[in-house]
Chains A and B, each alone.
Chain A
Amino acid sequence: MKKQLPVWLGFALALVFLPSIFDSVLGISILNQMTIWIIFALSYNMLLGQGGMLSFGHAVYFGLGGFMSVHALNLIADEVLVFSITLIPLVGGAVGLVAAIFIGSFSTRKSGTVFAMISLGIGELIVASSLIFADFFGGEAGVTGDRTYGPPFFGIEFLQDAEVYYLGAFWLFVATLFMYLFTQTPAGRMANAVRDNPERAEFIGYSTRRVRFISFCAAGLFAGIAGGLFAINYEFITEENLNALTSGRVLLMAYIGGLGFFIGPIVGAVILTLMNSLLSNYSEMWMLYLGIMFLLTVIFLPRGFAGFIMMHQIAWQNRRLGTLILPYFVTAVPALVFLAAFVGLVELSHKGDDILPFFGLSLGAESMLSWGILLALAGIGALGVKLSRPRLAAAWALANTPTADDRGDVR
């Protein structure tokens, strides 16, 4: 743990100073979103990446925690309850935990596909129930609250988004720390063992069901905390935050980031939040791009972006990482050209009569020249990638072969 102190310090410092770098309204808003989704994605990975349990209904704990938190906000505003809203995530966490204990008591009896299907069924059940029990769930309109009516926290009334950010960052740090520490405990390690080999885990004295149940409850707890933060941030929650789409989104984040690494979901949450917020400003088609990117990641980067980075570990150990820079560059340029052309083609198809600004050119959907340019660029890009790949492959192989060091030994 001592070796990791600088990492945690760096994390804390980054959290403190990020809003100074990205101080626009959009920037703070994106950072706020990230605090929520990082906790949520990390909680999901307790199930999937660390426990080997694929769930399609994790948003239930997030949503239930969020709903209870919004109600708590309202109770605070009505002065029925009196406590600082900084503690709201704990309310969310408690609800998430209770729900997970209840649902986990029967759903963790099974594993694999059956478990996944139960989670899907429960998720749909709860979403459907949310439309029926309109008093608690607010029907289709959802529930709104106000975070500014609570007792001030050292003078802060959380009117500003930036103030909310620091609250979120605090909970992000605490939640991440505890989720990480969990992985270093007997329960956390046995979760890994059960993931790897449930049968053998039983033969060394552990009930796989019990181990999974504990992971499940812990994951529900932290998802609820994320839900609480969501409530504070948006002051509004609907049944959409419980549904399969939200569950799918967090699955995507964990997967794209890399299931096998603790920081994987952090990477995934950051990437997807950025894409969600930034791309949607620039293009109507951003969901299409997201879908394509997702599929490509699943096919070509099964270990996620974190996995991609970790793939370079051997090259790093061999001190040959530098030899890869040029080949990557040579392949990246045509790849980017292809990407730009592809995006241009997609955008142009939807421009109708409008002009598409493309790197200084003005392209129109009517003009054959415009299409021709884009197709040519796409072709050149694709060809460039194809031609440069062998060189990249060779450089990769070389970088990964063990080196002989000064003493003549092979590492």
Chain B
Amino acid sequence: MFEVFVFATLNGLVTGLLLFMLASGLTLIFSMMGVLNFAHASFYMLGAYFAFTLSAYLGFWGGLLFAPLIVGCIGAAVERYGLRRVHQSGHVAELVFTFGLAFLIEEAVQFFWGRDTKNYQSPELFDFALFTLFGQEFSAYRGFMIAIACLIFGALYFVLTRSRVGIIIQASISHPQTVANLGHNVPLIFMCVFGVGTALAGVAGVIAGPVLTTFPGMATVLGSIVFVVVVIGGLGSLPGALIASLLVGLLQSYAIAADVGMPELLHLLSLSFDSSHPLNDLWTLNLPQIAPVLPYLLLVLVLIFKPTGLMGNREQ
């Protein structure tokens, strides 16, 4: 039991940190510009695909370095030429735009790379087990993922709280008008934040691609979960996004690992139902089955009881 718990925790941690990498960029963008970027997971996908192509020429590390840069540039361009224009038509228009963008990117990826799954490999450097616990291996690559994630968060935290740019960004989050009046080029800041946010998603794609498989549907798979995380954590709150990401990652991991469900509960209550019972599907339900549903359940519950999210402060 204990080893299941340990590995579930570690896996949940990896998932959670990955989610946070995506959620942090999304939160930054939302805080700054009030835009919920539906296409955020699409940039994650672009990161993986660009890294896949680049790694054929420059190796994994070349991909890690350049793919996020390319993705960030694309993001900045999207902001400059698309989002900025749509901004004046209101929030609904922005949401619809990013929604269409997500759709378009998925089609474009299929256009340029084809519909098959890409054989994007993790570097051989990490092809060993970091440690073996109770007979199960924990791959070094996952350890690497955790390390990179923590490195990025550290850098993000440092930039946002200690550097001049970071202070300006923090100010723009709550008072963009004032910051503009102080002479800062707020549109430029927006463009850069969008670019950095999408680049972050790209990094997540680069390191997650080998593990979560690189295929055209990878954005849809992760996309709505990232949203759920951001909303649970509280729109606009980075600490909230971190907590929510870890919560969702661990929750799903534990649910998948724990092989219990309704049968055990019914047994506890000394009930049993025939398999021809109309609600048989309900009585045979187990945790791994509902694991994909848990984040959404949590979302709905949080939104009903604490609509601003766990740590949210923005009243919409």
Contact = CB atoms under 8 A, between A and B. Distances in A.
Interface of A: 48, 54, 106, 109-114, 116-118, 120-122, 124-125, 128-129, 132-135, 244, 248, 251-252, 255, 259, 285, 287-288, 290-292, 294-295, 298-299, 302, 346, 349-350
A133 B262 CA distance: 14
Given A113-B316, A117-B303, A295 B97 contact: yes
Contacts of A111: 316
A114 B103 contact: no
Contacts of B164: none
A374 to B, nearest CB: 16
B71 to A, nearest CB: 18
Contacts of B280: 135
12 contacts: A54-B92, A117-B227, A120-B224, A121-B300, A125-B293, A125-B296, A132-B285, A135-B280, A255-B96, A290-B107, A299-B85, A299-B97
A251 B107 contact: no
A248 B303 contact: no
B100 A112 contact: no
A295 B293 contact: no
Interface in B260-316: 278, 280-282, 285, 289-290, 292-293, 296-297, 299-300, 303-304, 307, 316
Interface of B: 36, 82, 85-86, 89, 91-93, 95-97, 99-101, 103-104, 107-108, 111, 224, 227-228, 231, 235, 278, 280-282, 285, 289-290, 292-293, 296-297, 299-300, 303-304, 307, 316
Given A112-B316, A291-B103, A350-B111, A128 B224 contact: no
B241 to A, nearest CB: 14
A294 B106 CA distance: 14
Contacts of A133: 281-282
A288 B224 contact: no
B307 A110 contact: yes
A113 B297 CA distance: 18
Given A122-B296, A287-B107, A299-B86, 12 more contacts: A111-B316, A114-B316, A120-B224, A122-B300, A128-B293, A129-B293, A132-B281, A132-B290, A251-B96, A290-B103, A291-B104, A294-B103
A292 B108 CA distance: 10
B292 A118 contact: no
B293 A285 contact: no
B223 to A, nearest CB: 9
A135 B278 contact: yes
A119 to B, nearest CB: 10
Contact of B36 (A113, A132, A294): A113
B227 A120 contact: yes
Nearest to A244: B224
Contacts of A350: 111
A288 B107 contact: yes
Contacts of B292: 128
B227 A288 contact: no
Given A288-B107, A299-B85, A252 B296 contact: no
A225 to B, nearest CB: 25
